[in-house]
Chain A
Amino acid sequence: MVKIKNIKDLLAETPFFEDMEDNLELLSGCGTLVRFNEGEFLLKEGEKANSFYLIRKGNVSIESHIPGGTLSVSKVGAQGIVGYSWLFSPYRNQFDSRATSNVEAIKLDGKCLRSKAQEDHELGYQLMKRFAELMLQRMQSTRRQMLDIYGESGQAA
């Protein structure tokens, strides 16, 4: 018989929440399992940021619309996190997040987590630490993208 995993079990398998066993019950209370078809939006630029997603399957493009089209600036795959804006005022999404394949994810209620973190500072610290690390990685990647590291070189031996 196949055991159907609940949200707590799924969060426990995620590297992002590693060593947060004591908080998983609480975190899972703010989570719901969601699915998106290819092309559907997880988050929309300019809308209120009251949630984030832990991607279980599929890929999500972080993008913005520009005159003449849409520009993807990053992609997030399985085990990745989509959405930081729920953490900081004014709690507004800065980019679109669109499924580029069918996506399965855990949606975490940021509003719910913000209030729980306010009451429990250890939980708040653990969440902030993880998101700070993630944002540092993304910031470094973004800086490398800005450096245009594939520029005019790599040809003359």
Chain B
Amino acid sequence: MATQTQSRRNPMEPVPYRIEQVIEEVPDCFTLTFDFGDAPFLFAPGQFNMLYVFGHGEVPISMSGDPQSAKNLVHTIRNVGSVTAALQKLKAGDMVGIRGPFGSCWPLEQTKGKDVLIMAGGLGLAPLRPALYHILANRHDYGTITLLYGTRTPNMVLYPQELQDWGKKMDVMLTVDSAGQDWKGHVGVVTDLLNGITIDQQNTTALLCGPEIMMRFCAQALQDEGLSPSQIYVSMERNMKCALGLCGRCQYGPHFICKDGPVFSFDQVKRLFKVREV
């Protein structure tokens, strides 16, 4: 899906890009928009880039921009370690090395004509945002679109303005683990929200992204609702290094997350979800 310019590059060589904008999202979570010129950075929703902070190291981060937009080289990042902490200290104008895009994507072509149920937890909404942009830009290609999104607390809800906008075009349901009196939404885990919707068992594809434990509970709940594992897609996360399936760092059973994933059909990885310490 890369442009000719993108595809000519050595995939091991980071290309420096300038940060155009930094947005503080929720505590310890921020979005970087890079200057890629006038042409869009071509990628498929679900793919990721390797972001290299010079002098610190490299981390895999999902694309979270609009695939169709010119300003789409966008990454939403949580500060969870030394490299992401270094990323958080950068300002507009600073340079970051980028390799990518890498990996598999959400099955948006195969899903045409079907209902799409999206379940996201915490920062897991970021890798799904490009898929939502694509679906909403091609709304007539899909049936009912539902987003069920859970976070710890109301102040951890990512992209609140966009969620409000999306709610005018599709079903958006939010839940938090706990909240104060001013919260009007649901309180409880994201799987609770399934009680409030009707799922067409034969004609629904579910896209899940969030911590593995959340996806495990969601996948189980969806199977209890009658979906088969082949109708459920998950985005897996491991410590990726080369992003090309060479180093083996992100091996997950017979798969390399960087090359075969990060997006897998649940029937590909269902067995591995039950294996501890994988």
- Is A23 positioned at the interface, with any CB of B under 8 Å from its CB? no
* Cβ–Cβ < 8 Å partners of B47 in chain A: 157
Q: In the complex the two chains form, is B78's CB within 8 Å of A155's CB?
A: yes
Partner-binding segment picked from A46-54, A66-74, A121-129: A66-74
- Is A14 positioned at the interface, with any CB of B under 8 Å from its CB? no
CA A63 to CA B62, docked complex, whole Å: 37
- Given A72-B183, A75-B187, the answer on whether A153 and B123 have CB atoms closer than 8 Å is yes
B 71-101 binary contact with A (CB < 8 Å = 1; else 0): 0000011101000000000000000000000
Q: In the complex the two chains form, is A147's CB within 8 Å of B237's CB?
A: no
A 133-157 binary contact with B (CB < 8 Å = 1; else 0): 0000000010011011111111111
* Cβ–Cβ < 8 Å partners of B262 in chain A: 157
Q: In the complex the two chains form, is B196's CB within 8 Å of A151's CB?
A: no
A 102-129 binary contact with B (CB < 8 Å = 1; else 0): 0000000000000000000000000000
Q: In the complex the two chains form, is A153's CB within 8 Å of B192's CB?
A: no
* Cβ–Cβ < 8 Å partners of A154 in chain B: 120-124, 126-127, 209-211, 214, 235, 237
- Is B217 positioned at the interface, with any CB of A under 8 Å from its CB? yes
- Is B20 positioned at the interface, with any CB of A under 8 Å from its CB? no
Instruction: Determine how close the nearest CB of chain A comes to the CB of B177; give it in whole angstroms.
Output: 5
Size category of the binding interface on chain A: 20 to 34
B 160-203 binary contact with A (CB < 8 Å = 1; else 0): 00000000000000000111110111111111100010000000
- Given A71-B178, A150-B122, A150-B211, the answer on whether A157 and B152 have CB atoms closer than 8 Å is no
Q: In the complex the two chains form, is B60's CB within 8 Å of A156's CB?
A: yes
Q: In the complex the two chains form, is A155's CB within 8 Å of B178's CB?
A: no
* Cβ–Cβ < 8 Å partners of A157 in chain B: 46-48, 60-62, 102-103, 127, 235-237, 240, 257-258, 261-262
Which one, B177, B184, B186, B240, contacts A156 given CB within 8 A?
Answer: B240
- Given A70-B181, A157-B62, A157-B103, the answer on whether A150 and B150 have CB atoms closer than 8 Å is yes
- Is A100 positioned at the interface, with any CB of B under 8 Å from its CB? yes
Name which residue of chain A comes closest to B77, CB basis.
A155
Which one, B126, B186, B261, contacts A155 given CB within 8 A?
Answer: B126
CA A100 to CA B123, docked complex, whole Å: 28
Instruction: Determine how close the nearest CB of chain B comes to the CB of A70; give it in whole angstroms.
Output: 5
Which of A148, A151, A153, A155 is the most central at the interface, judged by chain B CB atoms within 10 Å of its CB?
Answer: A155
* Cβ–Cβ < 8 Å partners of B78 in chain A: 152, 155
CA A149 to CA B210, docked complex, whole Å: 8
- Given A70-B181, A75-B187, A155-B80, the answer on whether A150 and B240 have CB atoms closer than 8 Å is no
Q: In the complex the two chains form, is A155's CB within 8 Å of B62's CB?
A: yes
CA A74 to CA B156, docked complex, whole Å: 17
- Is B1 positioned at the interface, with any CB of A under 8 Å from its CB? no
* Cβ–Cβ < 8 Å partners of B240 in chain A: 156-157
* Cβ–Cβ < 8 Å partners of B184 in chain A: 100
A-B CB contact pairs (8 Å), 5 listed: A77-B186, A148-B152, A154-B121, A157-B48, A157-B262
